[in-house]
Amino acid sequence: MPIFEYKCDDCGHEFEELVFDRDACPPCPKCGSEKTGKLISACRCRVGAGGSAPSEGASDSGASSSSFSASSPCSGCSGGNCSSCGH
């Protein structure tokens, strides 16, 4: 279930809402108006420890090899549960 961003046409309030129907626009939580519209927003994602390795040809989102653990046997992982080298 995605979280969408909306803006109220009456009071200008911007809010986020978890919705089940992608085409539905919920009422404004500030003024109660039904005149709301979906905003176009940037996709957000978080890649953290235990995440999968990037696919072949994908960029590493700006991380340099110096940011990885010095104890790692390869420069592409943090030394634990690496799917590309098995360490």
Per DSSP, 61 falls in state: T
The answer, as to whether pTM is greater than 0.85, is: no
Tens of pLDDT along 26-85? 999 999 999 999 998 777 677 776 555 555 444 444 444 444 444 445 555 555 555 555
Please report which confidence band the pLDDT of residue 6 belongs to, taking 50, 70 and 90 as the band edges.
very high
CB environment 41-70: b (16+ within 10 A), e (fewer) = eeeeeeeeeeeeeeeeeeeeeeeeeeeeee
pLDDT value, residue 75: 54
pLDDT value, residue 2: 81
3-state secondary structure of 16: strand
